Amino acid sequence: MRKVVSKLLALEAYPKLKDIDFRLLRAVELKMRYYRWVPLEEIAKFARMDIESASYRLGKLDDFGLVVRRSDMGYIGYQLTIHGYDALAIRSFAKKGIIEAISTTQIGVGKDADVYVALTPSGEKVAVKFNRIGERTSARKAGYHSDVFADKHHKSWLYVSRLIAKKEHEALVLLSPFAKVPKPIAWNRHAIVMEYISGVELAELRDNDLTEEEAEEILGKILDEYEKIVKFGIVHGDMSEFNVVLTDDNDILIIDWAQYLTCANPESLELLKRDITVLLNAFRRRWGVKRDFEEEWERFYEAWLIGRKEVED
């Protein structure tokens, strides 16, 4: 099971941060477009502070783990950490009245992201997904998300995480009006706020939690839903038991759309074939549900042809 537990350090620091601290974090974020290590003088200038005051406050941010300091390059420079990026995203959501509080307990952990439950100002539960590209996956970056890296010059992993969050938000906006996917609420930097759904990933279930008949019904729901999405023109690209939630009302939700492709993409057909293969193999292995791949593939290939035409038209 792909679990990597990490603390949302930004939440520990957040109550202690002042407006000037967020201005300093913002300065480092913006200047990282031009510097691998942002000079102290550039940060102070952006934040409209003297060098001594900026250095002192940045030292506090370093202690909190929101920035990293380096002084062996002939000058003093800083980088924003993923935790500093978290703090900026949380600040943006809070200022816009989207969230008021975030729990320190993770409700979802993937190979690329952490998910936390949050509350809106009206007390409604929502989920906040923080992408963690690079922190866990840099060695495998060419294996997926290749479209994000195509024809791009060097950029920080923070910015790559932002691009991938933006991509998933776009997918959810397209699909949520008609498909069983999380409804998006807001997007900022590398984080997405979406509706909170109570349920469990199929991967979390024990093999004896479902009978063969129950598993057969669930697989049917997933395949029917996915066929509808493919006809719309989108391929998930990472479909598996880890990316399907069985909700408390015994329905399904397809999650983690950061690797989606349109059916017009030359790679989409092979990825769709892999998606169907992975799903069928998981249900056969775990719950004894047997479906013929060729029969299923016939309808999904037809769906893909329809989806490609939809996208190209």
Active site amino acids: 238
Instruction: At 17, list the tokens.
Output: 């941060």
Strand pairing report for 261-262 and 234-235: antiparallel
- For residues 215 and 176, the answer to whether their CB atoms sit within 8 Å is no
Beginning with the edge strand found earlier in the chain, give each strand of the sheet holding 77-80 in spatial order. Answer: 38-39, 77-80, 67-70
Ramachandran assignment for 254, one of left (phi > 0), alpha (psi -120 to 50 degrees), beta (any other): beta
* The token pair that represents 195 in the structure block: 């509706």
CA 76 to chain centre: 33
Half-sphere exposure of residue 268, counting CA atoms within 13 Å on the CB side?
A: 21
